[in-house]
């Protein structure tokens, strides 16, 4: 369990951060809450003290004999700043130390995560853009705000991600054991889920992919500082914090979304299960049982191979392309024989090979794999959480960037 400093900025989203605090303490973390003066105008000191079970201070001048700004910062395994307001990030970027939180930020040596929340205009202002860039350059993680309802009648970019998603993000960063954000400045694109090929308005050909492995990859990349585009095909999982989410349905839509997102990407990972075939014809109205009792014959046609296309049409030779393959061994070869052949035929740099069986792969929380490299390398990942496999994939991608 970790020692966490929760720095709360003066924004209306502070009320949502109380829920983040509750989740952190319930999972056993020791959390010291350091609100700014203006944060206390939104959510008062008793709330933070009761939920954290610890005293709450705002000023450097409380308990001066304990030198709290040095003690709190040094001890923290992680500092989470939420909501990070434009003003707070400006003060942090300038290295100011005019309250306990900004002083703590100067003494913290572990990872620092900012979760901005503000109106779109403030987020997009060149001053904020420059401050965010400065903080990121210095090694801080600044989560991209969510798009949605803001205070008042507005909608746009600037919303605080959901508390559960912030909690997951923090867990991912803590799971890195203090390792720095090694994908800062990189744009990565991940596909997840399974495509649906519609026969008529109510029926489709689909597959069992839950999207968990792709979502774990997106979360892991965000926790390492990358700008992440997640192209999700029919996934019913919570949106990962700080990730640009694009929703698609069919393989054709996935193709278009991946090609568009890959144009400026440093790495592309195809974790989605893509239908190789689609119905040759789509019925605009529901297909009815025929009166004579005969069964319809569904003609299929091939979908494009998205992974092979991306690997063959890279915007830059430096782009790293990763595929997934679910294989079973058979008379013609072992799982790895099939994996090697697929790696070559797809033309990608890395292929994550899962051996599929009765209860492995698709809907489970865990995954085991062998990651084959076009350079002949092979890395075995023992069965473990999908996030662990995700981090090994990003380690290998980073080494190739
Ligand atoms: N893939 C793709 N476009 C497709 C089919 C698959 O991009 N039309 C990608 C998947 O996202 C995955 C990899 O290719 O990264 C899986 O390879 P694939 O050839 O589809 O595996 P299988 O369907 O198992 O192939 P086969 O049945 O031919 O072994």
Indicate the length of the chain as a whole number: 401
Q: How many A from CA of 288 to the centre of ligand 1?
A: 32
Known binding-site residue numbers: 276, 286, 324, 342, 346
Residue 163 and residue 193 in one domain: no
Residue 80 lies in a domain: yes
Residue nearest to atom 6 of ligand 1 (CA): 274
Q: Which two tokens stand for residue 281?
A: 């014809």
Distance from residue 324's CA to the centre of ligand 1 (Å): 7
CATH code at position 311: 3.40.50.10300
* 1 class by beta-carbon count within 10 Å (0-12 exposed, 13-18 middle, 19+ buried): exposed
The tens digit of pLDDT for each residue in 138-195 reads 999 999 999 988 888 888 999 999 999 999 999 999 998 878 899 999 999 999 999 9
- Residues with CB under 6 Å of ligand 1 are 251, 270, 272, 274, 276, 303, 305-307, 323-326
CA angle (296, 298, 203) in 5-degree steps = 90
3-state secondary structure of 228: strand
pLDDT at residue number 359: 55
Question: What would the pLDDT profile of 332-356 be if each residue is shown by its tens digit?
Answer: 999 999 999 999 999 999 999 998 8
**Paired strand residues for 6:** 33, 80
pLDDT at 356: 82
Determine the distance separating the centroid of ligand 1 and the alpha carbon of 345, expressed in angstroms. 11
- Do 103 and 219 sit in the same domain of this protein? no
- 105 and 247 belong to one structural domain: no
| Cα–ligand 1 centroid distance for 273 (angstroms) | 7
Q: Nearest C-alpha to atom 12 of ligand 1 is from which residue?
A: 324
Distance (Å, rounded) from C-alpha 392 to C-alpha 387? 9
pLDDT tens per residue, range 97-117: 999 999 999 999 999 999 999
The whole-number pLDDT of residue 179 equals: 86
pTM: 0.94
End-to-end distance of the chain based on CA atoms, in angstroms?
33
> Under DSSP, is residue 217 helix (H, G, I), strand (E, B) or coil?
helix
Task: Please identify, by atom number, the ligand 1 atom nearest to the C-alpha of residue 348.
Answer: 15
Cα–Cα dist 357/390, whole Å:
21
Q: What pLDDT is attached to residue 22?
A: 98
Q: Are residues 64 and 204 in the same domain?
A: no
Residue from 207, 234, 354, 367 carrying the catalytic annotation: 207
- Could you tell me the CATH number of the domain that includes residue 106? 3.40.50.1950
The parts of the chain modelled with pLDDT lower than 50 are none
C-alpha dihedral, 125 to 170 to 325 to 254, nearest 10°: -30
Q: Which residues are annotated as a binding site for CTP?
A: 276, 286, 324, 342, 346
Q: How far is CA 269 from CA 1, 26, 212, in A?
A: 32, 34, 14
Q: Is residue 180 part of a domain?
A: no
Residue 245 and residue 250: Cα distance in Å, rounded? 16
Nearest-Å Rg of the Cα atoms of the chain is: 24
Angle between helices 14-26 and 163-175 (to 10 degrees): 50
Residue 276 alpha carbon, nearest atom of ligand 1: 8
190, 206, 306, best to mutate for ligand 1 pocket (most atoms within 8 Å of CB):
306
Same domain? 41 vs 109 = yes
Task: Decide: 306 and 227 in contact? Cβ < 8 Å.
Answer: no
Instruction: Verify that 300 and 204 share a domain, yes or no.
Output: yes
Measured in Å, residue 277 CA sits from the centre of ligand 1 at 11
3-state secondary structure of 34: strand
For the record, the structure tokens of 303 come out as 């979908």
Nearest alpha carbon to residue 141 among 97, 211, 51, 80: 80
Q: What pLDDT was estimated at residue 259?
A: 98
Q: Is residue 72 part of a domain?
A: yes
pLDDT at 367: 85
In a domain, 292, yes or no: yes
**Residue closest by Cα to atom 4 of ligand 1:** 305
Residue 326 CA to residue 35 CA, distance in Å, equals 48
Residues 132 and 158 in one domain: yes
Distance CA 9, CA 29 (A): 21
Taking the CA of residue 272 as reference, the ligand 1 atom at the shortest distance is 11
| Nearest Cα residue to 305 out of 260, 270, 281 | 270
Examine the domain organization and report whether 215 and 289 are in the same domain: yes
Question: Which mutation among 276, 301, 312, 343 tests ligand 1's pocket best, with the greatest number of atoms within 8 A of CB?
Answer: 276
Quote the tokens at residue 298. 């569904």
Question: What is the count of structural domains for the chain?
Answer: 2
Nearest 5°: the CA angle 280, 285, 286 is 90
Q: Is residue 181 part of a domain?
A: no
Helix (H) or strand (E) holding 187: strand 187-193
Residue 174, H or E segment: helix 163-175
Task: Among 346, 348, 362, name the best residue to mutate to test ligand 1's pocket (greatest count of ligand atoms within 8 A of Cβ).
Answer: 346
Helix extents (H) in 284-385: 306-312, 335-346
pLDDT the model gives residue 360: 56
Element at 146 (helix H, strand E): strand 146-149
C-alpha 105 to ligand 1 mean position (Å): 46
| Residue 207 among the catalytic residues | yes
- Tell me whether residue 253 is exposed, middle or buried, using C-beta atoms within 10 angstroms of its C-beta: 0 to 12, 13 to 18, 19 or more: middle
Q: Which domain holds residue 14?
A: 3-175
């Amino acid at each position: 369990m970790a020692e966490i400093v929760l720095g709360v900025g003066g924004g209306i989203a502070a009320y949502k951060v109380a829920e983040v605090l509750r989740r952190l303490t319930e999972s056993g973390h020791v959390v010291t809450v350091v609100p700014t003066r203006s944060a206390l105008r939104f959510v008062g000191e008793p709330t933070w003290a009761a939920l954290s079970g610890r005293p709450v201070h705002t000023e450097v001048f409380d308990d001066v004999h304990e030198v709290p700004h040095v003690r709190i910062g040094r001890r923290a395994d992680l500092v989470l700043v939420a909501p990070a307001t434009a003003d707070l990030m400006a003060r942090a970027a300038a290295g100011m130390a005019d309250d306990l939180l900004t002083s703590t930020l100067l003494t913290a040596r572990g990872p620092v995560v900012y979760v901005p929340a503000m109106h779109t205009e403030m987020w997009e202002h060149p001053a904020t853009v420059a401050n965010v860039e400065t903080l990121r350059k210095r090694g801080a993680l600044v989560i991209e705000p969510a798009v949605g309802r803001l205070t008042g009648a507005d909608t746009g970019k600037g919303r605080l991600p959901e508390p559960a998603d912030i909690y997951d993000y923090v867990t991912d960063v803590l799971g890195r054991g203090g390792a720095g954000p090694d994908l800062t400045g990189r744009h990565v694109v991940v596909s997840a889920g399974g495509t649906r090929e519609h026969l008529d308005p109510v029926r489709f050909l689909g597959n069992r992919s839950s999207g968990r492995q792709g979502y774990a990859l997106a979360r892991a990349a965000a926790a390492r500082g990358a700008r992440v585009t997640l192209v999700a095909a029919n996934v019913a999982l919570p949106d990962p914090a700080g990730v640009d989410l694009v929703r698609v349905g069919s393989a054709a839509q996935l193709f278009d979304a991946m090609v568009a997102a890959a144009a400026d990407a440093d790495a592309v990972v195809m974790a989605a299960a893509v239908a190789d075939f689609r119905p040759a014809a789509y019925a605009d109205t529901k297909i009815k049982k025929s009166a004579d009792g005969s069964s319809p014959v569904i003609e299929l046609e091939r979908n494009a191979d998205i992974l092979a296309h991306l690997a063959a049409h890279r915007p830059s030779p430096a782009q790293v392309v990763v595929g997934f393959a679910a294989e079973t061994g058979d008379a013609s070869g072992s799982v790895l024989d099939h994996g090697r052949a697929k790696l070559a035929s797809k033309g990608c740099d890395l292929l994550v090979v899962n051996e599929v069986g009765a209860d492995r792969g698709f809907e489970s929380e865990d995954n085991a794999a062998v990651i084959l490299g076009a350079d002949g390398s092979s890395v075995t990942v023992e069965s473990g959480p999908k996030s662990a496999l995700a981090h090994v994939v990003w380690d290998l991608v980073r080494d190739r960037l």
